Amino acid sequence: MSSNTVSKTSTTDPHRLPNFCAGPAAIPTEVLARAQSEMLDWQGRGVSVMEMSHRSKDYMAIAEKAESKLRSLMAIPDNYKVLFLQGGASLQFSAIPLNLLNGGPADYLTTGAWSGKAIKEAKRYETLGLGGINQVATGKDSNFTTVPAMSEWQLSDNAAYFHYCANETIHGLQIFEPPQVGAPLIVDMSSCILSQPIDVSKYGMIYAGAQKNIGPAGLLIVIIRDDLLDQASEWCPLLLNYGHQADKESMSNTPATYSWYLAGLVFDWLEAQGGVEAIGQINQQKADLLYKTIDDSSFYNNPVDKQYRSIMNVPFTLANSSLDKTFLEESEQAGLLSLKGHRDVGGMRASIYNAVPLEWVQLLVDFMIDFENRYA
């Protein structure tokens, strides 16, 4: 076992260990502490937020504040609606074609597991006559370690939309700049939203599951331009209809009230860190530290094209894969949690979302160097 066992008192909080889970992921300690203090009695009201009517004056104030904070953090233009929905990002793989295909075609770029799932689901709706689904390119031949050159993309004429995943959580591949195409960009930002500044006006719609950088699982954020709200097909269920949900202020049915509340606390926390620009600088520091450790070693490897390396999800392998089990056992014994790679990729993966402090990444790096020294 490594001598670098992580004492609970060596982390930023005496009761918490470094958590590198891909999702549900770490939530800022300050947010959890505040939620704990308000659990039984929210601001002297004598009830928990979980017990409030979603249409009560108090809860409406919570919801409105969360939206206002998110709009401020991301500089969301006035001609975009912000929806707090349920079902996770995967439900949007169905909702998007039902809302936006309109005779199509629609273009999809496949760069990993999640964009692959999105196009597979969208193709189910071709049989309804909503329009064709076109895969413009796929990174499968490279095992999703790079993005095919745009010169190779087979773009449709007059596409209804262009869908891609900005950050592939499983493969650790990130597209940092929005593709320059003519169709409205529909982007899955589940694992990179709020990690760096972006220009929202370049996108038709951004969607993100909450369980990476926003809060607990069960909540979904949709940021959608107004002109895309009224295009849903007759096949679209009411609860998946973006225009309907916008009209009902995300309360067509009872929303995920406690997750929405916790998201608001995360937005407060992020604002206190200096906003998205400040947290983006910290995220880059964390990623640089971890990738340098990997690149400076012949013992560790990250296969992703350097220009597309994710700053949120860092997969890595050992030169001797027979040591994988030992690495994972010893890292957990050392107090470093959830480093096992996804079953489709293997190896290890460190997810270093906003709530993962630089100190935790340093502890991981120290363990990796020690492990290499003992087993190389």
For this structure, is 340 an active site residue? Answer: no
For this structure, is 235 an active site residue? Answer: no
In this prediction, residue 9 has a pLDDT band, given cuts at 50, 70 and 90, of very low
Q: How many CB atoms lie within 10 A of CB 296?
A: 10
The last residue of one of the domains, among 239, 271, 303, is: 271
Amino acid at 217: A
71 and 149 belong to one structural domain: yes
Q: For the domain that residue 341 is a member of, what is the CATH number?
A: 3.90.1150.10
The last residue of one of the domains, among 271, 305, 327, is: 271
Number of domains in the chain: 2
47 and 132 belong to one structural domain: yes
For this structure, is 42 an active site residue? Answer: no
**Strand, helix or coil at 188?**
strand
Q: For the domain that residue 247 is a member of, what is the CATH number?
A: 3.40.640.10
What residues pair up with 82 in beta bridges, in sequence order? 223
> Taking the CA atoms of the chain, what radius of gyration do you get in angstroms?
21
The last residue of one of the domains, among 271, 291, 326, is: 271
**pTM, full prediction:** 0.95
The two tokens of residue 257 are 């009230």
pLDDT, tens only, 14-33: 679 999 999 999 999 999 99
54 and 100 belong to one structural domain: yes
Q: How many CB atoms lie within 10 A of CB 322?
A: 7
238 and 355 belong to one structural domain: no
Q: What is the 3-state secondary structure (H, E, C) of 70-106?
A: HHHHHCCCCCEEEEEECCHHHHHHHHHHHHHCCCCCE
CA distances from 153 to 66, 107, 162, 201 (A): 39, 10, 12, 24
93 and 56 belong to one structural domain: yes
226 and 299 belong to one structural domain: no
In this prediction, residue 13 has a pLDDT band, given cuts at 50, 70 and 90, of low
Residue of 42, 69, 81, 188 marked catalytic? 188
User: Which residue range forms the structural domain that includes residue 105?
Assistant: 38-271
122 and 173 belong to one structural domain: yes
Residue of 114, 260, 269, 360 marked catalytic? 114
Residue of 212, 260, 286, 340 marked catalytic? 212
In this prediction, residue 128 has a pLDDT band, given cuts at 50, 70 and 90, of confident
208 and 342 belong to one structural domain: no
157 and 44 belong to one structural domain: yes
Residue 126 has pLDDT above 90, yes or no: no
CB 348 within 8 A of CB 328: yes
